[in-house]
Amino acid sequence: MITKGQERCLYVFPVAEFARIAGQLREQPMTHKAARAYSRVFFASAHDEVPDKQGRVTIPGHLREYAGLNRELVVIGASTRVEVWDRQAWDTYLAESEEDFADIEEGVLPGGL
């Protein structure tokens, strides 16, 4: 499953992981405004793409446009998903976020590594 991700990248999930996330979103109360907004974008832009015999996946036009995908792409592993980035957008994101990387660890990984 491929859908919009944060920071103008695309998220690619195995079907089982997409189903797990869908379940978590279904558990959110309909009165939770942020959950409604996230669900709308996440599900409305989701596509079930099957690789062809050479392992290639077609990315729908509106998702290519959203992520600004041109000729050069970057594909990264991000735990339970793959992210697809435009090369220039990824380089910019990485340059802007690397300074904060060391400071982020404590809040994201309680107890440290």
Q: Domain residue spans in the chain? A: 2-106
User: Contact at 8 Å (CB) between 25 and 42?
Assistant: yes
Instruction: Tell me which residue has tokens 């050069």.
Output: 72
Expressed in angstroms, the distance from the first to the final Cα of the chain is 31
What's this model's pTM, rounded to 2 decimal places? 0.85
More confident residue, 105 or 99: 99
Task: Provide the token pair at 54.
Answer: 């050479």
- Residue 3 near residue 10, CB atoms below 8 Å: yes
Q: What is the CATH number of domain 2-106?
A: 3.40.1550.20
Cβ within 8 Å of residue 90, ≥6 positions away: 9, 74, 76
Per-residue pLDDT at 101: 75
CB-based burial of residue 22 (10 Å sphere; 0-12 exposed, 13-18 middle, 19+ buried)?
Answer: middle
pLDDT digit string (tens) for 62-95?
999 999 999 899 999 999 999 999 999 999 999 8
